[in-house]
Amino acid sequence: MIGQRELELQASGEDTARFVASGVLLFGSAENVGAVAELLPAHFGYAAQVLDDAPVAYYRFAELAGAHVLADSSGHGADGIVEVGVAFGHPGAGAGMAARFRASDTPRVRVPDRPALRPAQLSIEALLIWSGGDAPQAMVAKPAAYGLSVLADGRVRAEVDTAGVTSTGALIPGEPTHLVVTFDGTAVAVYLNGVVDTVSPVTGDPTAAGDLAIGGGPNPFDGVLDELALYDHPLPEDRVRAHADAVDAELGNLIRNATFGRSRPSPPPPLTGAGVGGLAAAEEWFVWNNPDATTMTELLPTTRPDGRGHMLHVVTTGGLCGLVQTWTAAGAGPAVAEAWVYVVAGAVGLGCGNGGGTSIDAVSTVTGRWEHLVAEAGSTPVDELIPYFGPADGADFYVDFVVVRPLPAAP
């Protein structure tokens, strides 16, 4: 159990509010607790986030099996014509249903040309699950204007006019991905799961007339397409992040910045002292020292096979010191936490629960390789995760990709 109850913050403003709003970290009157809780970030539905940014076309792929029209949910009437090979009613990359495109069936949805689909600047956004393949596959194609495809090695190819940009990161077959490509008239940016992957100068004219093809082309897409949106402006980076966070929320992950792709504006200093908390190097994450210790964090490119983006490196000189993330309570039900850890020295404990009732329920068993830890909530309602260190003399380890999901209530 986490026994230390004193609090000294080395943070301010919104970060302070998020940090203290937990039973293990918050001390004060009920009135003050409520005031702080109101400052906590609230997740809204993914579709609401998309519509807030005014897409010119938005396809949710929620049609029933056998549908011949793909409805535009933006309100602009840019419905698509389902020509062949699209299987609706498939589990989606988000929380709802989607469409399965099988390359062998030469799938294709055609959206008749209209002025709104000829923007001088643009964004293309989608949730998708790529099935893999040995040739480039077209997800979105508007000849001589713009297009989006996945190459055989999983990298994303974005095209404007005759120019193109290829991502550094790659899609992983079978894994859901939130993908955004933007063009501001001078450069193309590719975002994978809310994190900037590639930005490259591009000049071109994406305003050519012609029908828009979804999932089709000489080499059609093979996989699941979901929540496809087109905009006549480049989405700002903070909005891309908000959309990606909304995906996590809808999929039930209570953790924000789960892949450590977002860093603080400047690296925080090491945290020293007993019963003190401060900022970690990754946004939304914090560090906490129970005994007198020094704890430092840094963001690095991940080394985990199939890892995405970054990992968080943590070194501490004390026991029961490490990372913390808190959120508004998820209700009375239990939850399960998962994290990938790589221990260099010492050991890592993982737990989720409710403030002072949070216990460490899974402990690493090896050093020198990645290990998957799973821990069920020690108390409810669930509002806290702790990747902590057990040994009294501290530990050195890395964390990559953290998930906390509520478990279904018992029948």
Range of weakest confidence among 14-28, 127-141, 253-267: 14-28
**pLDDT score at 411:** 52
What is the edge-to-edge ordering of all strands in the sheet holding 137-142?
Answer: 69-70, 80-84, 108-111, 212-214, 137-142, 146-150, 155-160, 163-170
Would you place residue 248 in the very low, low, confident or very high pLDDT band (cuts 50, 70, 90)?
confident
Residue 43, pLDDT above cutoff 50:
no
Residue 60 has pLDDT above 60, yes or no: yes
The residue type at 396: D
Beta sheet of 271-273, edge-to-edge order: 271-273, 293-301, 310-316, 395-406, 335-345, 370-376
What phi and psi values does residue 19 have, to the nearest 5 degrees?
Answer: -65, -40
CA 143 to chain centre: 31
Confidence grade of residue 38 (pLDDT, cut at 50, 70, 90): very low
**What is residue 299's three-state secondary structure?**
strand
Fold equal for 13-41+256-406 and 46-240: yes
Report the pLDDT value the prediction gives residue 387, as an integer from 0 to 100.
Answer: 84
Whole-number pLDDT of residue 10: 33
| 105: three-class secondary structure by DSSP | helix
- pLDDT band, residue 270 (cuts 50/70/90): very high
**Residue 407: what pLDDT?**
73
Token pair for 396: 């050195």
If residue 302 lies in a helix (H) or strand (E), which one and from where to where? Answer: none
| Cis status, amide bond into 268, omega within 30 of 0 | no
CATH node for 46-240:
2.60.120.200
Place of tokens 């924000």: 256
Mean pLDDT of the chain: 82
CB 170 within 8 A of CB 136: no
Per-residue pLDDT tens digits for 96-154 = 678 999 888 787 899 999 999 999 999 999 999 999 988 899 999 999 999 999 999 99
At the topology level, CATH places domain 13-41+256-406 in Jelly Rolls (2.60.120)
pLDDT one-digit tens code per residue, 276-303: 999 999 988 999 998 999 999 999 988 8
**How deeply is 298 buried, as exposed, middle or buried, from its count of CB atoms within 10 A (0-12, 13-18, 19+)?**
middle
Query: Letter for the amino acid at 339?
Result: A
**In angstroms, rounded to a whole number, what is the distance separating the alpha carbons of residues 411 and 47?**
30
Structure confidence by residue, pLDDT tens digits, 339-357: 999 999 999 999 888 876 7
Instruction: State pLDDT tens for residues 161-215.
Output: 999 999 998 998 888 889 999 999 999 999 998 889 999 999 899 999 999 999 9
Q: What is the pLDDT averaged over residues 247-275?
A: 82
Residue 251 is which amino acid? L
Domain ranges of the chain: 13-41+256-406, 46-240
CA atoms within 13 A of residue 51's CA, in its CB half-sphere: 12
Tokens of 250: 């809808």
pLDDT of residue 309: 63
Q: Say if residues 21 and 9 touch (Cβ distance below 8 Å).
A: no
> Which DSSP state fits 250?
H
Confidence of residue 333 (pLDDT cuts 50, 70, 90): low
Answer whether residue 4 shows pLDDT above 60: no
Beta-bridge partners for 263: 282
